[in-house]
Homo-oligomer: A and B are copies of this chain.
Amino acid sequence: MDPHELIRIAEKTDQLEALPGQALFYEGDPARSFFTIRKGVVRLVRAFPDGRRSIVGFLHGGDFFGGGFGRSAYAATAEAVTPLEYCRISVSDLQLLTKEHPSLARQMSAMAADRLYAADDHIVLLARKTAQEKVAAFLLASSEWAGQADQFDLPMARSDIADYLGLTIETVSRTLTKLTEMGVIALPTPQHVSLLNRLDLRALARPEAESLDG
């Protein structure tokens, strides 16, 4: 649960940077390394030859990922969304470190479990939520990434949000405009979000919005 040890160890490894749009690795590449993000945001992308694209997740400072988690190949392409500072450690080196620090193994499986839990949430969102619920949920998640702030930046483009939510950029834009007109958010600039009514936004975000008392 404490990524600091991971980061401390990772600090003994490659310190790297990447510019927006640069790939850290590609889907299908042999999964030779693990990564932690020091600063910035990464997207995990699955793309098709016909242009259809799906973002299976966003990763933020402190997040630990890569290595295929036991698989021999990466499951998706990792691309920098913002200017990025990150660490890289080879799978074999990390395996050695795991023997010295057994807690590392537990942390790794905890990370995998978190990604699995997030993936299930994502599946429910894609399968059963409306565009408005999707965008509201995304804004709340973005707020959490910013430390529950009521004002924060969306580091990614509308196209990234659309590919994450299974929508088009037009629908994302229209929905944001609608939420603005409803008074639950404000958009001083396209990238800057201000939550005006967190409770209403939360109610809009989930199907299970009704009372939970039995």
Contacts and interface: CB of A to CB of B under 8 A. Distances in A.
Taking chain A's interface residues, is the majority helix, strand, or loop, or is none over half, making it mixed?
helix
Given A48-B207, A52-B128, A115-B116, 18 more contacts: A46-B123, A46-B124, A48-B206, A49-B212, A52-B207, A53-B128, A54-B127, A69-B112, A70-B110, A70-B112, A71-B114, A109-B109, A109-B112, A112-B116, A116-B119, A119-B120, A119-B122, A128-B166
- 4 closest cross-chain pairs (CB), A and B: A127-B166, A119-B119, A70-B113, A126-B126
Interface size range of chain A in the complex: 35 or more
Contact of A112 (B49, B76, B113, B206): B113
Contacts of A53: 128
A117 B57 CA distance: 13
Contacts of A112: 69-70, 109, 112-113, 116
A160 B209 CA distance: 23
| Identical copies of this chain, number | 2
Contacts of A48: 128, 206-208
Interface of A: 44, 46, 48-50, 52-54, 56, 68-71, 75-76, 105-106, 108-110, 112-117, 119-120, 122-124, 126-128, 163, 165-166, 206-210, 212
A21 to B, nearest CB: 21
Contacts of A128: 48, 52-54, 166
Q: Interface centre among A68, A108, A119, by most B CB within 10 Å? A: A119
B124 A56 contact: yes
A160 to B, nearest CB: 13
A152 to B, nearest CB: 24
Contact of A75 (B108, B120, B126): B120
A210 to B, nearest CB: 6
Nearest to A49: B208
Contacts of A124: 46, 54, 56
